Amino acid sequence: MAAVGFSVDLSHAYSLRASMREAADAAILDALSDSALEQIYKGAAITPEQLKRLAVRAEQNFDDIMPRKALMETGASPSATVSIAGNQINATLTYSGAMRTEFLRLFGFSALGISGKAQSRANLPQFTDVNILIDNSPSMLIAANDAERAKLMRVTGDYARRNNRPMDVNGCAFACHDLDPDPETVMNYYDLARSAGIRLRIDTVKSALLELLDAASSTASQGNQFRYSLYDFGDSMTTIMTNYVMNRLKNETDVAKVKAAVAMEQPMTTPYADFIGKAGSSPEMALEELQLSIPRGGDGTTEASRKQLLIFFTDGVSNSRSVFNCAGQRWPPYGQCTGPFQPAICDQLKRRGIRIAILHTAYLPIPSSPYFIQRVAPVLPQIEPNLRTCASPGLYRNVEYGQPMDDALKSLFQQSLHNVRLTR
């Protein structure tokens, strides 16, 4: 009989303890839920009074969740504390009560104490400025993959034969956006590719960015958590010496407007096909100019201390007019230098708290192109190491020709923000 009585009391105690533990877990999780944090967190430093409100919410939740009979029977009393350390908020709820025994009291145990603790932890939104730099020079106008490349070669070859362009009768691998002055040749290769529905590398970049914006928007717990700025290398090769970078959008929180700007992104133009004065991409000078637009990075805990992230899409080939300090192939008659990206400027950005994420869109080998063989191929081995040096730790991704960029870009973004998840 004593054994049976002992078992009944203990079984009931275990049941009450399970109810208290479940109530405590649910209460503390709710206290740090997105909806709870949104009520107190408006982009400024959280005050002790606001932390106290979260603690009171946890205690009230415990009382509401606990079965009424069990609460009255045990006299359970919760006590919650909420603290913040950097970008992390921590909550602890302790509870204690006692169960009046029926059988064990005969053996001197009139009550059984029941106590426990539940803890939860959450990361506050990291306010982040996302600065996007797109290399929109002609090298981004290769076809997106082998199938699209074959179509581009075919339609440009056909067009060249019909319009007396002997150098391209076998096809051109670039859909160059030249503004050909010949009135008889009214369509450039970019327009030709567009009319044929050929997908280009710049389209792949834009598509990956649009997907990233959707994913980031779905996980943002504050409407202004992410601000976006969009830059590229400019409208035309003829203006590259006066403006190395062009700002298309600045500090925009409306994702619809950001997506519209990305969709409108265009490649730079050249005056005519095989423009000998072209020096269409100087990524080093573009980053130099960006220093004037991007403020120092903060810790992201408030709007006033936003983190600064730079996402840079590039193939890593610099085609500039720096012939005197050229790290690649000099072409003095035309004032050009084709070389690998030089990462020295990146240290200046990183010292200012700007994290650099690089999506390397690997340059397409074109064995039939004299330009590639003579000027690009010799510097290719230096590109990846230099871009890795430029990128912040863990923030370099290489996307080979024909491979999708979407997953690589999402991975890059997630890694850059650490605590932000792109999937739930």
pLDDT at 323: 46
Which strands make up the sheet holding 329-331, listed edge to edge? 317-320, 336-340, 329-331
**Distance (Å, whole) CA 372 – CA 365:** 7
Q: What is the residue-level pLDDT of the chain in tens, covering all 424 positions?
A: 555 556 776 777 788 888 888 888 888 888 887 667 766 666 566 788 888 998 999 999 888 888 887 778 888 889 999 998 877 888 999 998 887 777 666 666 677 788 889 998 887 778 899 999 999 888 888 888 889 989 999 998 998 888 888 878 888 887 775 665 454 555 688 888 999 999 998 999 999 999 999 888 877 767 788 999 999 988 776 655 556 778 899 999 999 999 999 999 988 877 655 554 455 578 888 899 999 999 999 988 888 889 999 999 998 888 766 544 566 566 555 557 778 889 999 999 999 999 999 999 887 777 777 777 877 888 888 889 999 999 998 889 988 887 878 888 888 887 776 543 333 2
Distances (CA, A) of 252 to 205, 228, 233, 350: 20, 5, 20, 23
Question: Same domain for 103 and 210?
Answer: no
Question: Same domain for 211 and 326?
Answer: yes
Alpha-helical runs (H) found in 1-136: 2-31, 34-40, 48-65, 68-74
354-361 and 336-340 as β-strands: parallel, antiparallel, unpaired? unpaired
Query: CB neighbours (10 Å) of residue 42?
Result: 12
Question: Same domain for 68 and 14?
Answer: yes
Question: Same domain for 333 and 264?
Answer: yes
**Distance (Å, whole) CA 324 – CA 340:** 15
Residue 192 located in a structural domain: no
Q: 245: domain CATH number? A: 3.40.50.410
Q: Is 394 left (phi over 0), alpha (psi -120 to 50) or beta?
A: left
Number of domain units in the chain: 2
Residue 187 located in a structural domain: no
Alpha-helical runs (H) found in 315-405: 344-351, 370-371, 380-390
pLDDT at 183: 47
pLDDT at 242: 57
Please give the model's pTM, rounded to 2 decimal places: 0.73
pLDDT at 89: 86
Instruction: Print the domain residue range for 14.
Output: 2-119
